[in-house]
Amino acid sequence: MMLKNSESHELHDEIIAMTCKKYDTDIIYATDKKFEEIFHLTLRSWK
């Protein structure tokens, strides 16, 4: 999946996002809009 993604070039973000995808998780506790825009994950806040 990471090799097919041409929109992101930050390896650490891709590893996090692909781990979510592998385990069928679509919610991530983060503030980086890239997870939502590129990887189609739902952002949540700790607050």
DSSP string, 1-47: -TTT--S---HHHHHHHHHHHHTT--EEE---HHHHHTT-PEEE---
pLDDT attached to residue 13: 87
Look up residue 7 and give its DSSP letter.
Answer: S
Record the pTM: 0.72
pLDDT attached to residue 46: 83
pLDDT attached to residue 47: 75
pLDDT profile of the chain (47 residues), mean per 10: 65 88 94 91 90
Q: Is 43 exposed, middle or buried (0-12, 13-18, 19+ CB in 10 A)?
A: middle
pLDDT attached to residue 5: 64
